[in-house]
Chain A
Amino acid sequence: MEIKFNEEALATVNKIIARYPQGKHKSALLPILHIAQAEFGGWLSPETMDYVASILNIKPIEVYEVASFYSMFNLKPVGKCLLEVCRTSSCWTRGAEDVVKHIEKRLNIKEGETTKDGMFTLKTVECLGSCGTAPMLQCGASYHENLTMEKVDALIEEYRAANKQRSYTDLDYKNTL
């Protein structure tokens, strides 16, 4: 994969940089890393991070140290659909452990693993601000709330059929709030 933003992505990046005062363009780092992750396969490879550094004219180490601090940046490849199940208190009281076990069984993977076909990765995460609609999972920009096993099954089928990478920056988000 060639690591270079297409024209559309580059226009967005430049728009973001313009939000910050002269000389403070490093502020744009997090939003640009999100775009880079979405554009270059769902994770941040060293090449991708070096490229972002070159765009912002900062040292690569400044990108690595930031990318490794925040949990939304994947430093290793993940499946096309990263299923992030909340496991914190309110979700736990309403059955988050069941959801994790159900997905593990259904996809035949353990938490943290990716299916052989590269379609799904299962991850547990901390409170996503959806405690009133627990249990829940996030995939890309979409929140899936008030989960039942049937809903989880339907979601997996839908994602498998669509066969596309899901990113936080997707516009076609779904939520149930």
Chain B
Amino acid sequence: MGKKLLIHNDKVPNIHTLQVYREHGGYASVEKALKSMTPNDVVEEVKKSGLRGRGGAGFPTGMKWSFLAKPEGVERYLVCNADESEPGTFKDRYLMEKIPHALIEGMITSSYALGAKTSYIYIRGEYFYVARILEKAIEEAYAAGLLGKNILGTDFSHDCYVQVGGGAYICGEETALLESLEGKRGNPRIKPPFPAIAGLYGCPTVVNNVETIAAVCPIVMMGGDEYAKIGVGRSTGTKLISASGHINKPGVYEIELGLPVEEFIYSDEYCGGIINGRKLKAVIAGGSSVPILPAELILKNDKGEPRLMTYESLSEGGFATGTMLGSGGFMVYDETTSIVKNLYTLARFYHHESCGQCSPCREGTGWMEKILHRIVEGHGKPSDIDLLWDIQRKIEGNTICPLGDAAAWPVASAIRHFRAEFEEYINNPSKIKDVKHYYSVNQLAGA
């Protein structure tokens, strides 16, 4: 059993209540940080921990915090990114729903480190009921003197609020999120300036993922050096992985970074293998935006070494043979899966979610959906594969925000690794009718 720091108490009855949460050691990091550490001490521990952003990009959190501008007399903000809309990702929901105080505790401790008097948790609108759970937890924290004026009798005062979104994947991009939090359309801003200089209401702002903020609590408690001993190399600590698709045990798992991918997929402690003992075909390891890899490349890298669940190991080989850890949205596809049809669902997603500001993204995602649609409907042309390739190349790197890249990579990787399947569909349209695209609901219910 690997070490667990974030959801080790998820099965404790009533752990969502302040009382039970505190009985299990909750809010100790607030106590410790506010009473025995300076804000800078906290930042230093986070730096030493090697914690990297859990929202997808993996940027070192301590470094991000040290970039925060601190002009005299100007408010600073901490904003929690709880937009969680990357297909395949549902770990933040699990954490917030089961142990809401783990996030609130992290918000207070982190805000103390950053000198933020106010923080906001921006949560996707569809998670309305989770927002209620958080609001209840916040109310409890105020009543216990953990939020509000002079927290635990110290000089530090802090207010924390929840804000619901309106259903838009792009609002997970941090500058779009800030626009949305200001009551506007979620159009990403041109950077620089970065939020650390000019973020919410033009003030210096740190935007961090739910899991990143929750991880600050164990780091403060155990110390950055101890935390950094967990994991492998620059992939320190534990990570929440949300596993879905054709596996026996879908769900949210906390792993120590460095766990072999093969163990994660086949061990009964985690995914429990592929449904009905079928063969593994492919995996999208880090949310829909990262490249899909065929079974042989996800289990072992191109040098034949076992692939590990770390930022480095998963990206070994670059995009030619590797992928990314991303948000930890681990989607598993068995031998029956049509990669082309699956890609179509993703292309449709990115087209739907493009904010429309940049023409390569707005037009390109539309064309990719259209072309993939005609292929899966049996009307594909032999030139369509190269056309798809060209379109994705023209999007990548030519847009305001990374959604364009995120739309391009799945298409590029599917063609790179599964070109023959595209050709098969185009050359023998009648074959598509025979392909069992997915498990039927009742097949699974019986399984």
Nearest A residue to B252 via CB reads: A132
A129 pairs with B89, CB closer than 8 A = yes
Q: Please choose the segment from B223-231, B388-396, B437-445 that sits at the chain A interface, where 4 or more of its residues have CB less than 8 A away.
A: B437-445
Known: A89-B345, A148-B445. A131 touches B166 (CB 8 A): no
Q: B75 at interface (Cβ–Cβ under 8 A)?
A: yes
Q: A122 at interface (Cβ–Cβ under 8 A)?
A: no
CA distance A106 to B94 in the complex (A): 32
A71 pairs with B349, CB closer than 8 A = no
Residues of chain B contacted by A45 (CB below 8 angstroms): none
Residues of chain A from 65 to 102 with CB closer than 8 A to chain B in the complex: 65-66, 69-73, 87-90, 92-99
Residues of chain A from 9 to 43 with CB closer than 8 A to chain B in the complex: 19, 21, 24, 26-31, 33-34
A126 pairs with B90, CB closer than 8 A = no
A88 pairs with B345, CB closer than 8 A = yes
A92 pairs with B251, CB closer than 8 A = no
Nearest B residue to A131 via CB reads: B244
B164 pairs with A132, CB closer than 8 A = no
Q: A171 at interface (Cβ–Cβ under 8 A)?
A: yes
Residues of chain A from 53 to 67 with CB closer than 8 A to chain B in the complex: 62, 65-66
Q: Which interface class (under 10, 10 to 19, 20 to 34, 35 or more) fits A?
A: 35 or more
Q: B167 at interface (Cβ–Cβ under 8 A)?
A: yes
Q: A149 at interface (Cβ–Cβ under 8 A)?
A: yes
Residues of chain B from 93 to 113 with CB closer than 8 A to chain A in the complex: 93-94, 97-98
Residues of chain B contacted by A98 (CB below 8 angstroms): 440-442
Q: A169 at interface (Cβ–Cβ under 8 A)?
A: yes
Nearest A residue to B184 via CB reads: A66
Q: A51 at interface (Cβ–Cβ under 8 A)?
A: no
Q: A142 at interface (Cβ–Cβ under 8 A)?
A: yes
Q: A130 at interface (Cβ–Cβ under 8 A)?
A: yes
Residues of chain A contacted by B242 (CB below 8 angstroms): 131-132
CA distance A126 to B118 in the complex (A): 32
A21 pairs with B184, CB closer than 8 A = no
Residues of chain A from 118 to 150 with CB closer than 8 A to chain B in the complex: 125-135, 138, 141-143, 147-149
Known: A89-B342, A95-B440. A29 touches B129 (CB 8 A): no
Residues of chain B contacted by A171 (CB below 8 angstroms): 132
Residues of chain B contacted by A65 (CB below 8 angstroms): 185
Partner of A126, one of B84, B245, B349, B438: B349
Residues of chain A contacted by B251 (CB below 8 angstroms): 132
Nearest A residue to B343 via CB reads: A89
Q: B373 at interface (Cβ–Cβ under 8 A)?
A: no
Encoded as 1 (CB less than 8 Å from any A CB) or 0, chain B from 165 to 192 comes to 1111100000000001111111000000
Interface centre among B127, B132, B441 (most CB of A within 10 A): B441
Nearest B residue to A172 via CB reads: B129
Q: B205 at interface (Cβ–Cβ under 8 A)?
A: no
B129 pairs with A173, CB closer than 8 A = yes
Nearest B residue to A175 via CB reads: B129
Known: A132-B250, A132-B252. A89 touches B288 (CB 8 A): yes
Known: A89-B346, A90-B88, A141-B128. A132 touches B438 (CB 8 A): no
CA distance A142 to B128 in the complex (A): 9
A30 pairs with B345, CB closer than 8 A = no
Known: A69-B186, A88-B346. A127 touches B441 (CB 8 A): no
Known: A168-B128, A177-B94. A148 touches B442 (CB 8 A): yes
Q: Please choose the segment from B27-35, B329-337, B398-406 that sits at the chain A interface, where 4 or more of its residues have CB less than 8 A away.
A: B329-337
Known: A94-B438, A175-B129. A88 touches B75 (CB 8 A): no
What are the 7 tightest A-B residue pairs by CB atom distance, in nearest-first order? Answer: A70-B166, A72-B167, A29-B183, A95-B441, A131-B244, A26-B183, A132-B250
Binding site for B on A (CB under 8 A): 19, 21, 24, 26-31, 33-34, 62, 65-66, 69-73, 87-90, 92-99, 125-135, 138, 141-143, 147-149, 168-169, 171, 173, 175, 177
6 contacts between A and B (CB under 8 A): A69-B355, A73-B166, A92-B437, A97-B437, A173-B128, A173-B129
